[in-house]
Amino acid sequence: MTDTVHIGDVPFGPSHFTTIAGPCAVESREMALQTALAVQAAGARVLRAGVFKPRSSPRSFQGLGTRALDILHEVKATTGMPVVTELTDVRRLEEVADIADAVQVGARNMHNYALLTELGRTELPVLLKRGLSATVDELLLAAEYVLCEGNERVILCERGIRTFESAYRFTLDVAAVAVLHERTHLPVVVDPSHAAGRRALVLPLSLAAVAVGADGLLVEVHPAPHLALCDGDQALRTDEFAAYQRQVQRLGAFIRGCEAEVDGLVPETELESA
């Protein structure tokens, strides 16, 4: 049986299906707030936004860093949403922990055992993404690094793996979600955005994630994706997010049964008049 792990006061586990949403990176105060308000209105309960971005090229936008943390602090105060952001460097732990309700460990850092060990010594929930080429066993062993230090608040995230297929960015391994649920008590969420690499695939992959039993989704959303400083091609637009959320939550309610709460199930009448 899967345990329930909370981010702020928001539960992830068998009796809830929860959406985490937000921009890949905080680009400005205005866009961060605008995105947060839009995803919140559509029923997402946790905001995810990057502050330190681990980019393949050192010349790509690396995030606004400390300035973005201040912005997130303000957005959190305004919206009341708990916030997740990625920690890429253990030396930034204190600074990030001051603001974040959960820390994302990205795919590129899944094997960063020093980082995982330090997070294990905190009480912060850890959203642990599967490495680009990591097996299910390696993901579970990475989670062990956090758990064995005493921090049991780990949520696993399947975000697609590298295969020979090049028609999309990564291959979403839906089977891994079912296998992880067999092998661990930890909640499992799916990030369809990084697997898809383009907007049109985000909804179908999200529905697959719901159907295979994921406990939630982590989705990238941007008010103007064509202007995004990173991952614009895969970001849902804020103005299409409510319709997306409605489809996901409808399937969630069907799959998980009426005894399970589906967070953010916004009544259709409200969405239609929005």
Least distance (Å) between residue 220 CB and Mn ion: 6
Residue nearest to ligand PEP (CB): 106
Nearer to Mn ion, 47 or 262 (CB): 47
Nearer to ligand PEP, 229 or 262 (CB): 229
118 binds, among ligand PEP, Mn ion, none (CB under 5 to 8 A by kind): none
* 139 closest CA partner among 150, 151, 127, 149: 127
CB 240 within 8 A of CB 38: no
Q: Largest Cα–Cα distance in the chain?
A: 50
Nearer to Mn ion, 19 or 184 (CB): 19
Which phi and psi angles does 229 have, rounded to 5°?
Answer: -85, -15
Least distance (Å) between residue 143 CB and ligand PEP: 15
107 binds, among ligand PEP, Mn ion, none (CB under 5 to 8 A by kind): ligand PEP
Least distance (Å) between residue 230 CB and Mn ion: 6
Nearer to ligand PEP, 172 or 251 (CB): 172
Contact residues: Mn ion, CB under 5 A? 24, 231
Q: How far apart are CA 74 and CA 27, in angstroms?
A: 14
Q: What is the dihedral of CA 207, 208, 209, 214, to 10 degrees?
A: 100
Q: How far apart are CA 125 and CA 141, in angstroms?
A: 17
Q: How far apart are CA 33 and CA 175, in angstroms?
A: 35
The 10 Å Cβ neighbour count of residue 232 is 16
256 binds, among Mn ion, ligand PEP, none (CB under 5 to 8 A by kind): none
Q: How far apart are CA 70 and CA 84, in angstroms?
A: 14
Least distance (Å) between residue 15 CB and ligand PEP: 26
Nearer to ligand PEP, 158 or 215 (CB): 158
Least distance (Å) between residue 67 CB and ligand PEP: 18
Q: What is the dihedral of CA 5, 10, 12, 13, to 10 degrees?
A: 90
Nearer to ligand PEP, 104 or 246 (CB): 104
Contact residues: ligand PEP, CB under 6 A? 24, 50, 54, 106-108, 129, 159, 194
129 binds, among Mn ion, ligand PEP, none (CB under 5 to 8 A by kind): ligand PEP
23 binds, among Mn ion, ligand PEP, none (CB under 5 to 8 A by kind): none
Least distance (Å) between residue 129 CB and Mn ion: 11
Q: How many alpha carbons fall within 13 Å on the CB side of residue 220?
A: 29
Q: How many helices (H) and strands (E) does the chain have?
A: 10, 12
